[in-house]
Structure formats: C-alpha cells, structure tokens
Amino acid sequence: MIEQDMRDRILAAPETLLDDQDVMRALIAANERAMGSNIVDLRGIAMERLEGRLDRLEDTHRSVIAAAYENLAGTNQVHRAILQMLDPLGFEEFLQSLGTDVMQTLRVDSVRLVLESVQGKDDPALRKLGEVLYVAEPGFIAEYISGGRNVSLRPVTLRPVLIASDTLYGEQAESIRSEALMRLDFGAGRLPGMLVLGAEDPHQFKPTQGTDLLAFFAGVFERTMRRWLS
C-alpha cells in the first residue's frame, strides 16, 4: 500500500504525475504488465509513436532556432565589418583596416584584395601598399576561381583548400584550409577584382553554405572601391 503521506500529496496535486514523463512511462509499463502478454495495447503503441514524432518536432524546432540565431549573428557580424570598412578616409588606411579590424570582425585569418592590372606587379601606383593588396596579370582571377576548368564563375565561391596558393597567401599558405572568393565589378572599362577571405578552419567556408551575406558585403565593397579608383 502507498504510504498515506505520499497518497495525500498525489491526490492533492495529481497533475504533477502527468507532467513527469518518466513517472508516466513507468505507470504505463506497469499497466501493460498487469494486462498480460496476450493483450496488445494499441493506445500505448499510438502514444509511443506520438512521443517519437514530438521528439523529432522538438529537435527540428531547436535546429531552426539555432539556425536563426546563427544567421542573425552572421548578419550583425557583416554589418559591423561594413561600418568599419566605410570609416577610412584614405586608400592606404582602407587597406590597413581590411587586414586588421575587418578581418577580426569577420573572424577570418587572411584578407586579400586582388586587382588585375595590365602593368601587373610593376604598376607604380599599386605597389607597396601592404600585404592585403595583390596585383595580378589580367585573367588571373578567372583562372584562380575556376582552377583552369571550363566552368561558369559565380559571384561568390566558397570552397575548402587542400594546398593554398603561396602566391596569394604568402607565408600563411600552409595554414589556410578554406576560402571565400568574391568577384568584384568596378564598372565599365575597368578590370575585375576579387576579395579573398582565408580561414584556417577547413569547415568555415563550404560550398553548401549560403552566400547572401557575403554577396551583400562584396556589393558594398566594390562600390567603396569605385570611389578609390575614380
């Protein structure tokens, strides 16, 4: 027999048992044992299936919430980086900001701005402006993104890196394991550019990830660059 004190507490607040899943499972199991093995409890089977569906719905709900928070955090991150990018008043300060504040805000390990020039690295107007700027021959950007393959070039390309380009990343090439490549359009009559974000984490940039935020960032970046190139 149940002790009187416990019995009184259950009768006073029976909903506490209903809210406890472990207790309810134990009561249902005891009821099935009492009915015997030759009786199938269809209601119990239906309840188990409903519980399974509820668990899956809760998992989906948590995943959706986590993705929403992650997307919000990413949006705020990109917005902060854009504001930092718009602060500099000079081109050299702008490049320095890319390699310091903007890089830290985006949580990447390398930032490279690739500009194609008919004079290549010998262009006196673009040389010696820091490690962020990389001046290349015309056609370098398309070749780098496509890897020599005949493929259509997307505005933003996310991919893992097995062996990073030491030409582009320099001493950091050994540690870069994924990269985001953003093509830049500086207007009619100008050669294209590319903004490269490199990360040591091989999973930071993957082809399956969305590119909307980086495409927006690249759009603001190329419009900012037009001001410096005008």
Range of the domain at 114: 78-229
pTM passes above 0.85: no
Number of C-beta neighbours around residue 14 at 10 A? 9
Assess if residue 13 is contained within a domain: no
Q: Considering its fold, how many domains does the chain have in total? A: 1
Cα 9 to chain center, whole Å?
Answer: 52
Assess if residue 26 is contained within a domain: no
First to last CA, the chain: 91
The values of phi and psi at residue 40, to 5°, are: -100, 120
Beta bridge partners of 197: 111, 180
Domain holding 162: CATH number? 3.30.450.40
Classify the phi-psi angles of 192: left when phi > 0, otherwise alpha if psi is within -120 to 50, otherwise beta. beta
Separation between Cα atoms, residue 24 and residue 16, nearest integer Å:
10
- Give, for all 230 residues of the chain, the pLDDT tens digit: 678 787 778 778 877 777 777 777 777 777 666 666 665 565 666 667 777 777 787 777 777 776 666 777 778 888 899 999 888 888 888 888 888 899 999 999 999 999 888 875 555 555 556 678 888 889 899 999 988 777 778 899 999 998 888 888 888 888 999 999 999 998 888 888 999 999 999 999 999 888 888 999 999 998 888 887 76
Assess if residue 7 is contained within a domain: no
pLDDT at position 190, please?
86
Residues 155 and 175: beta-carbon distance below 8 Å: no
Assess if residue 11 is contained within a domain: no
Assess if residue 73 is contained within a domain: no
202-227 as b/e: b if 16+ CB within 10 A: eebbeeeeebebbeebbeebbeebee
